[in-house]
């Protein structure tokens, strides 16, 4: 996205390239969020199948602490 903006500022491309870069970035962010959600779902399912949610809850708490939440 930054490169597209610089190219636009120097007249090397049009606004369409910036819009495409923004769309690509937004899609990548969505894909990352979906992947993270799928990991958490898989970890929860594994904990459920093992009958022990404690490791899942500890991992969740650790991630939240790292993120400052």
CA angle (36 as vertex; 20, 3 as ends), nearest 5: 25
Show me where the domains of the chain are located: 2-66
51: left (phi over 0), alpha (psi -120 to 50) or beta: left
Q: Please give the pLDDT value at position 63.
A: 94
Q: Is the pTM of this model over 0.75?
A: no
68: left (phi over 0), alpha (psi -120 to 50) or beta: left
Tens of pLDDT, residue by residue over 4-34, are: 889 889 999 899 999 999 999 999 999 999 9
């Amino acid at each position: 996205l930054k490169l597209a903006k610089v190219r636009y500022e120097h007249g090397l491309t049009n606004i369409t390239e910036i819009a495409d870069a923004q769309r690509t970035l937004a899609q990548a962010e969505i894909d990352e969020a979906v992947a993270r959600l799928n990991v958490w779902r898989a970890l929860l399912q594994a904990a459920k199948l093992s009958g022990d949610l404690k490791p899942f809850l500890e991992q969740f708490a650790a991630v939240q602490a790292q993120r400052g939440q």
